[in-house]
Amino acid sequence: MITQFKKGALEMCVLSLIDKKDCYGYEIVEIISQGFEVSEGTIYPLLRRFVNEAYCITYLKESSGGPPRKYYSITEEGKKRVRRLIEQWKFFSEQVDYIIRLPLEGREKE
Amino acid sequence: MNQQEFMRRLKASLKGVSEEAMADILYDYEEHFDIGKQRGKTEEEISDALGLPEQIASQYRLDQAIKKAEEAPRASNVLAAIFVGMGLGFFNLVFVLGIWLLLFGVLVGLLAASIGVFVAGLVVLAKACVPCALPWVQAPFVFDLVTGRLAGVFAGIGVGAMGLLLLMLTIWLTEMVYRGTIAYIKTNIRIIQKASEE
């Protein structure tokens, strides 16, 4: 359950990173692995799925002193997707927050 | 595990993935190793963080299996997607497998029934038109009369059409069951999306 939960949140986080600016894979992995305890290898399959579902496109760009890097760039479809995921996430976490606070306020009154 | 070993195991586990996709996938990990090494990490550190190549490969294989089942909803493709998903640790797919096999059995039964009804209609029609045809089928006594044979022709057409209708219904149902199964597997991969969409 926890791992599946994480996978859903992972999709939102990775898409929102690409939404901010075009990223290459290593960059995304680096940021995500700071916040998530995931095998870094699970992020590349996710990126490929995004490309397959037309949420983003890729292009190669030369890097300073190294082979070209594959960059991921979000599409209109991907923007729509990430906006909806974030909206749902906010709604969900607000509900959770609300429920978590409920008993605490009750006890304070006594 | 060094880079060479990681790439070898990843490639070996990606069996069945198209050559074009394979090259694309392997490129991502080559690039990952290259950049990691540029930043002073060892090959072992990088591959440890990536995780087991076999596990990574099965994620690609699940995506491929789902895509294949969507493009060509055949029983074998749907089954393949279920099994790859189970291999990835989505054990609730075991129930899907059970329900799916049950539904599949019902569909096969329906298919056989509709073909049976259709053939029965044809036989009645043939017998009514040409009484001496199909000698192993016994014609009912009413076929001795012209009106009886006329009734037989219409009954044959009617029953045959019913068989066809049943067949169409079965095909439609089969498609629904396949699509439903694939949709369920997909929502399983993204459980959070399902939880908040309800």
pLDDT tens, A36-87?
777 888 899 999 999 988 999 999 988 776 778 999 999 999 999 999 989 9
Task: Looking at chain A, list the stretches that DSSP marks H as alpha helix, in order from N- to C-terminal side.
Answer: 2-20, 25-35, 43-52, 76-109
- CB contacts of B50 in chain A (<8 Å) are 39-41
Which of B31, B88, B188, B191 should be substituted to probe chain A, the one whose Cβ sees the most A Cβ atoms within 10 Å? Answer: B31
Flag whether pLDDT at A26 surpasses 50: yes
Segment (H or E) for B6: helix B3-13
Residue A25 vs residue B185, higher pLDDT: A25
Q: Do B196 and A88 lie within an 8 Å CB cutoff?
A: yes
Q: Per-residue pLDDT tens for B90-133?
A: 667 788 888 888 998 999 999 999 999 999 999 988 888 887 77
Q: Per-residue pLDDT tens for B41-78?
A: 999 999 999 999 988 898 888 888 888 888 888 888 88
CB A43 within 8 A of CB A25: yes
CB atoms within 10 A of CB A85: 21
DSSP-derived 3-state class of residue B108 = helix
List, in order, residues 6 or more apart from B34 with CB less than 8 Å away. A66, A67
Flag whether pLDDT at B192 surpasses 50: no
Q: What is the mean pLDDT of residues A18-46?
A: 89
CB pairs under 8 A between A and B: 89
Residue A49 touches partner B, C-beta closer than 8 Å: yes
ipTM of the complex: 0.81
- CB contacts of A3 in chain B (<8 Å) are 89
Partner residue facing A44 (CB), from B29, B193, B197: B29
Find tokens 């992995």 and name the residue. Answer: A29
Q: Do B50 and A67 lie within an 8 Å CB cutoff?
A: no
